[in-house]
Amino acid sequence: MTAMHPVQAAVLGVVEGLTEFLPVSSTGHLTITEKILGLKVDDDAVTAFTAVIQVGAILAVVLYFRREILAMVRAVLVGLRDPAERQTLDFRLATYVIAGTIPAGLLGLAAKPLVEGPLRSLWVVGLSLITWSGVMWLAERDGRQDRDEKALTLKDGLVVGVSQVLAVLFPGVSRSGATISTALFLGIDRVAATRLSFFLAIPLLLAAGVLELPHVLSPPAGSTHIGAGNLAIGLGVSFVVGYAAVAWLLKFVARHSIATFVPYRLAVGAGVVVCLTAGWLSAT
Protein backbone atom coordinates (compact mmCIF):
# COMPACT_ATOMS: atom_id res chain seq x y z
CA MET A 1 0.00 0.00 0.00
CA THR A 2 1.39 3.42 -1.00
CA ALA A 3 0.96 6.42 1.29
CA MET A 4 0.04 10.02 0.54
CA HIS A 5 2.70 12.61 1.46
CA PRO A 6 1.70 15.74 3.44
CA VAL A 7 2.93 17.92 0.56
CA GLN A 8 0.56 16.10 -1.80
CA ALA A 9 -2.31 16.67 0.65
CA ALA A 10 -1.48 20.38 0.91
CA VAL A 11 -1.22 20.84 -2.86
CA LEU A 12 -4.58 19.12 -3.39
CA GLY A 13 -6.06 21.34 -0.68
CA VAL A 14 -4.86 24.46 -2.50
CA VAL A 15 -6.27 23.22 -5.82
CA GLU A 16 -9.60 22.34 -4.21
CA GLY A 17 -9.94 25.69 -2.46
CA LEU A 18 -9.01 27.66 -5.58
CA THR A 19 -11.21 25.81 -8.05
CA GLU A 20 -14.29 24.60 -6.13
CA PHE A 21 -16.27 27.76 -6.78
CA LEU A 22 -14.66 28.97 -10.00
CA PRO A 23 -16.30 27.63 -13.20
CA VAL A 24 -13.18 25.69 -14.15
CA SER A 25 -13.96 22.31 -12.50
CA SER A 26 -12.38 21.45 -9.18
CA THR A 27 -12.73 17.71 -9.84
CA GLY A 28 -11.06 18.09 -13.21
CA HIS A 29 -8.17 20.09 -11.76
CA LEU A 30 -7.82 17.70 -8.83
CA THR A 31 -7.69 14.75 -11.23
CA ILE A 32 -4.99 16.43 -13.31
CA THR A 33 -3.04 17.38 -10.17
CA GLU A 34 -3.30 13.85 -8.77
CA LYS A 35 -1.76 12.52 -11.97
CA ILE A 36 1.07 15.09 -11.85
CA LEU A 37 1.73 14.19 -8.20
CA GLY A 38 2.01 10.51 -9.08
CA LEU A 39 -1.27 9.42 -7.49
CA LYS A 40 -3.71 7.00 -9.14
CA VAL A 41 -6.74 9.00 -10.23
CA ASP A 42 -9.04 5.96 -10.08
CA ASP A 43 -7.83 4.92 -6.61
CA ASP A 44 -10.84 4.64 -4.25
CA ALA A 45 -9.05 6.32 -1.35
CA VAL A 46 -7.73 9.20 -3.48
CA THR A 47 -11.19 9.76 -4.99
CA ALA A 48 -12.68 9.76 -1.50
CA PHE A 49 -10.00 12.19 -0.26
CA THR A 50 -10.91 14.73 -2.94
CA ALA A 51 -14.57 14.47 -1.94
CA VAL A 52 -13.83 14.92 1.76
CA ILE A 53 -11.55 17.95 1.40
CA GLN A 54 -14.41 19.69 -0.42
CA VAL A 55 -15.92 20.01 3.05
CA GLY A 56 -13.17 22.50 3.92
CA ALA A 57 -14.19 24.75 1.03
CA ILE A 58 -17.86 24.34 1.90
CA LEU A 59 -17.22 25.36 5.51
CA ALA A 60 -15.62 28.50 4.09
CA VAL A 61 -18.90 29.24 2.28
CA VAL A 62 -20.85 28.62 5.48
CA LEU A 63 -18.63 31.08 7.34
CA TYR A 64 -18.82 33.69 4.57
CA PHE A 65 -22.62 33.47 4.28
CA ARG A 66 -23.27 32.74 7.96
CA ARG A 67 -25.83 35.52 8.37
CA GLU A 68 -27.81 34.49 5.29
CA ILE A 69 -27.69 30.81 6.26
CA LEU A 70 -28.80 31.48 9.83
CA ALA A 71 -31.64 33.60 8.47
CA MET A 72 -32.76 30.76 6.18
CA VAL A 73 -32.61 28.19 9.00
CA ARG A 74 -34.60 30.52 11.28
CA ALA A 75 -37.17 31.13 8.52
CA VAL A 76 -37.70 27.39 8.02
CA LEU A 77 -38.14 26.75 11.76
CA VAL A 78 -40.56 29.67 12.15
CA GLY A 79 -42.32 28.80 8.90
CA LEU A 80 -43.25 25.37 10.22
CA ARG A 81 -45.83 27.06 12.45
CA ASP A 82 -46.29 30.50 10.88
CA PRO A 83 -47.74 30.59 7.33
CA ALA A 84 -46.78 34.26 6.95
CA GLU A 85 -43.08 33.39 7.31
CA ARG A 86 -43.36 31.09 4.31
CA GLN A 87 -43.73 34.13 2.06
CA THR A 88 -40.36 35.59 3.05
CA LEU A 89 -37.35 35.44 0.75
CA ASP A 90 -35.30 33.55 3.36
CA PHE A 91 -37.89 30.78 3.63
CA ARG A 92 -38.30 30.54 -0.14
CA LEU A 93 -34.53 30.37 -0.71
CA ALA A 94 -34.23 27.58 1.85
CA THR A 95 -36.97 25.55 0.15
CA TYR A 96 -35.37 26.08 -3.26
CA VAL A 97 -32.04 24.78 -1.97
CA ILE A 98 -33.72 21.74 -0.41
CA ALA A 99 -35.71 21.08 -3.59
CA GLY A 100 -32.60 21.29 -5.74
CA THR A 101 -30.47 19.14 -3.45
CA ILE A 102 -32.66 16.06 -2.99
CA PRO A 103 -32.95 14.95 -6.66
CA ALA A 104 -29.31 15.88 -7.31
CA GLY A 105 -28.20 13.78 -4.34
CA LEU A 106 -30.28 10.78 -5.39
CA LEU A 107 -29.05 10.92 -8.98
CA GLY A 108 -25.47 11.30 -7.77
CA LEU A 109 -25.76 8.22 -5.57
CA ALA A 110 -27.27 6.20 -8.42
CA ALA A 111 -24.40 7.21 -10.72
CA LYS A 112 -21.67 6.54 -8.12
CA PRO A 113 -20.34 3.35 -9.84
CA LEU A 114 -19.90 5.29 -13.10
CA VAL A 115 -18.30 8.27 -11.39
CA GLU A 116 -15.74 6.15 -9.57
CA GLY A 117 -15.20 3.85 -12.56
CA PRO A 118 -15.13 4.59 -16.30
CA LEU A 119 -15.86 8.33 -15.95
CA ARG A 120 -12.85 8.86 -13.64
CA SER A 121 -10.55 9.48 -16.58
CA LEU A 122 -8.43 12.33 -17.90
CA TRP A 123 -10.10 11.86 -21.29
CA VAL A 124 -13.42 12.79 -19.68
CA VAL A 125 -11.78 15.74 -17.90
CA GLY A 126 -10.19 17.16 -21.05
CA LEU A 127 -13.23 16.75 -23.29
CA SER A 128 -15.64 18.07 -20.64
CA LEU A 129 -13.52 21.17 -20.06
CA ILE A 130 -13.68 21.90 -23.79
CA THR A 131 -17.33 21.01 -24.38
CA TRP A 132 -18.84 22.88 -21.43
CA SER A 133 -16.88 25.99 -22.31
CA GLY A 134 -19.24 26.41 -25.26
CA VAL A 135 -22.25 26.10 -22.95
CA MET A 136 -20.88 28.80 -20.64
CA TRP A 137 -20.30 31.13 -23.59
CA LEU A 138 -23.85 30.57 -24.86
CA ALA A 139 -25.29 31.13 -21.38
CA GLU A 140 -23.64 34.54 -21.18
CA ARG A 141 -24.66 35.43 -24.74
CA ASP A 142 -28.28 34.28 -24.60
CA GLY A 143 -29.21 34.61 -20.92
CA ARG A 144 -31.47 37.64 -20.32
CA GLN A 145 -30.21 38.14 -16.76
CA ASP A 146 -33.29 40.22 -15.92
CA ARG A 147 -34.29 38.31 -12.76
CA ASP A 148 -32.70 38.90 -9.36
CA GLU A 149 -32.74 36.76 -6.22
CA LYS A 150 -36.24 37.96 -5.26
CA ALA A 151 -37.61 36.59 -8.55
CA LEU A 152 -36.36 33.03 -8.00
CA THR A 153 -38.93 30.22 -8.07
CA LEU A 154 -39.14 26.61 -6.95
CA LYS A 155 -38.64 25.54 -10.57
CA ASP A 156 -35.36 27.49 -10.65
CA GLY A 157 -34.12 25.70 -7.55
CA LEU A 158 -35.00 22.30 -8.99
CA VAL A 159 -33.53 22.86 -12.45
CA VAL A 160 -30.32 24.53 -11.24
CA GLY A 161 -29.93 21.96 -8.46
CA VAL A 162 -30.29 18.98 -10.78
CA SER A 163 -27.73 20.51 -13.17
CA GLN A 164 -25.10 19.75 -10.52
CA VAL A 165 -25.33 16.08 -11.53
CA LEU A 166 -23.62 16.92 -14.82
CA ALA A 167 -20.53 17.95 -12.88
CA VAL A 168 -20.74 14.83 -10.71
CA LEU A 169 -20.90 12.60 -13.80
CA PHE A 170 -18.35 14.41 -15.95
CA PRO A 171 -15.28 15.79 -14.14
CA GLY A 172 -14.34 18.82 -16.17
CA VAL A 173 -17.84 20.27 -16.51
CA SER A 174 -17.58 22.15 -13.16
CA ARG A 175 -20.36 22.20 -10.59
CA SER A 176 -20.33 25.99 -10.40
CA GLY A 177 -20.04 26.22 -14.18
CA ALA A 178 -23.08 23.96 -14.60
CA THR A 179 -25.25 25.71 -12.01
CA ILE A 180 -24.36 29.28 -12.96
CA SER A 181 -24.79 28.56 -16.70
CA THR A 182 -28.16 26.90 -16.10
CA ALA A 183 -29.31 29.84 -13.98
CA LEU A 184 -28.25 32.30 -16.69
CA PHE A 185 -30.27 30.35 -19.29
CA LEU A 186 -33.26 30.74 -16.94
CA GLY A 187 -32.84 34.51 -17.04
CA ILE A 188 -31.31 34.88 -13.57
CA ASP A 189 -28.67 37.59 -13.22
CA ARG A 190 -25.05 36.56 -12.68
CA VAL A 191 -24.72 37.58 -9.02
CA ALA A 192 -27.95 35.83 -8.00
CA ALA A 193 -26.90 32.77 -10.03
CA THR A 194 -23.55 32.64 -8.26
CA ARG A 195 -25.09 33.00 -4.80
CA LEU A 196 -27.62 30.25 -5.59
CA SER A 197 -24.74 28.05 -6.79
CA PHE A 198 -22.95 28.57 -3.46
CA PHE A 199 -26.05 27.75 -1.39
CA LEU A 200 -26.80 24.61 -3.42
CA ALA A 201 -23.23 23.38 -2.93
CA ILE A 202 -23.49 23.30 0.87
CA PRO A 203 -25.79 20.30 1.52
CA LEU A 204 -24.69 18.28 -1.52
CA LEU A 205 -20.94 18.50 -0.94
CA LEU A 206 -21.22 18.15 2.84
CA ALA A 207 -23.20 14.93 2.34
CA ALA A 208 -20.69 13.65 -0.24
CA GLY A 209 -17.81 14.33 2.14
CA VAL A 210 -19.46 12.54 5.04
CA LEU A 211 -20.29 9.51 2.87
CA GLU A 212 -16.71 9.24 1.58
CA LEU A 213 -14.99 9.78 4.95
CA PRO A 214 -14.81 6.05 5.87
CA HIS A 215 -12.99 5.31 2.58
CA VAL A 216 -10.30 7.83 3.59
CA LEU A 217 -9.84 6.70 7.19
CA SER A 218 -10.14 2.98 6.37
CA PRO A 219 -9.13 2.64 2.70
CA PRO A 220 -9.91 -0.56 0.78
CA ALA A 221 -7.14 -3.11 0.38
CA GLY A 222 -4.58 -1.98 -2.15
CA SER A 223 -5.64 1.66 -2.03
CA THR A 224 -3.46 4.62 -1.07
CA HIS A 225 -3.08 5.22 2.66
CA ILE A 226 -4.22 8.79 3.42
CA GLY A 227 -4.07 9.14 7.20
CA ALA A 228 -5.84 11.54 9.56
CA GLY A 229 -2.94 14.01 9.44
CA ASN A 230 -3.06 14.40 5.66
CA LEU A 231 -6.83 14.68 5.79
CA ALA A 232 -6.55 17.53 8.32
CA ILE A 233 -3.99 19.29 6.09
CA GLY A 234 -6.21 18.99 3.01
CA LEU A 235 -9.29 20.23 4.87
CA GLY A 236 -7.49 23.14 6.50
CA VAL A 237 -5.80 24.37 3.34
CA SER A 238 -8.99 24.08 1.25
CA PHE A 239 -10.89 26.05 3.92
CA VAL A 240 -8.44 28.98 3.95
CA VAL A 241 -7.98 29.14 0.18
CA GLY A 242 -11.69 28.53 -0.43
CA TYR A 243 -12.72 31.50 1.73
CA ALA A 244 -10.50 33.83 -0.28
CA ALA A 245 -11.85 32.37 -3.55
CA VAL A 246 -15.49 32.93 -2.53
CA ALA A 247 -14.89 36.55 -1.59
CA TRP A 248 -13.02 37.21 -4.85
CA LEU A 249 -15.53 35.47 -7.13
CA LEU A 250 -18.55 37.39 -5.83
CA LYS A 251 -16.80 40.66 -6.60
CA PHE A 252 -15.61 39.38 -9.97
CA VAL A 253 -18.99 38.21 -11.31
CA ALA A 254 -20.58 41.54 -10.39
CA ARG A 255 -18.56 43.11 -13.23
CA HIS A 256 -17.31 40.29 -15.45
CA SER A 257 -18.78 37.50 -17.58
CA ILE A 258 -18.17 33.87 -16.63
CA ALA A 259 -17.13 33.46 -20.27
CA THR A 260 -13.88 35.10 -19.11
CA PHE A 261 -12.89 31.63 -17.87
CA VAL A 262 -13.55 29.97 -21.26
CA PRO A 263 -10.07 30.54 -22.81
CA TYR A 264 -8.42 29.05 -19.72
CA ARG A 265 -10.76 26.03 -19.78
CA LEU A 266 -10.10 25.48 -23.48
CA ALA A 267 -6.34 25.73 -22.99
CA VAL A 268 -6.29 23.25 -20.09
CA GLY A 269 -8.69 20.86 -21.84
CA ALA A 270 -6.70 20.95 -25.08
CA GLY A 271 -3.46 20.46 -23.14
CA VAL A 272 -4.85 17.35 -21.46
CA VAL A 273 -6.09 15.90 -24.76
CA VAL A 274 -2.73 16.56 -26.47
CA CYS A 275 -0.79 14.96 -23.60
CA LEU A 276 -3.05 11.89 -23.67
CA THR A 277 -2.87 11.58 -27.45
CA ALA A 278 0.92 11.88 -27.42
CA GLY A 279 1.17 9.28 -24.67
CA TRP A 280 2.77 11.72 -22.20
CA LEU A 281 -0.06 11.03 -19.74
CA SER A 282 -2.21 7.96 -19.09
CA ALA A 283 -5.95 8.44 -18.66
CA THR A 284 -6.02 6.91 -15.16
Residues of the chain with pLDDT under 50: none
Are the beta carbons of 199 and 220 closer than 8 angstroms?
Answer: no
- Measuring CA to CA, which residue among 102, 89, 68 is closest to residue 152? 89
Are the beta carbons of 123 and 269 closer than 8 angstroms?
Answer: no
Q: How far is CA 101 from CA 14, 73, 107, 161, in A?
A: 26, 16, 10, 6
Residue 142 dihedral angles phi and psi, to the nearest 5°: -100, -20
Distance from the Cα of residue 278 to its chain's centroid: 30
Looking at residue 125, what is its pLDDT? 92
Looking at residue 120, what is its pLDDT? 79
Looking at residue 1, what is its pLDDT? 62
Looking at residue 139, what is its pLDDT? 97
Are the beta carbons of 63 and 118 closer than 8 angstroms?
Answer: no
pLDDT tens by residue, 125-158: 999 999 999 999 999 999 999 999 999 999 999 9
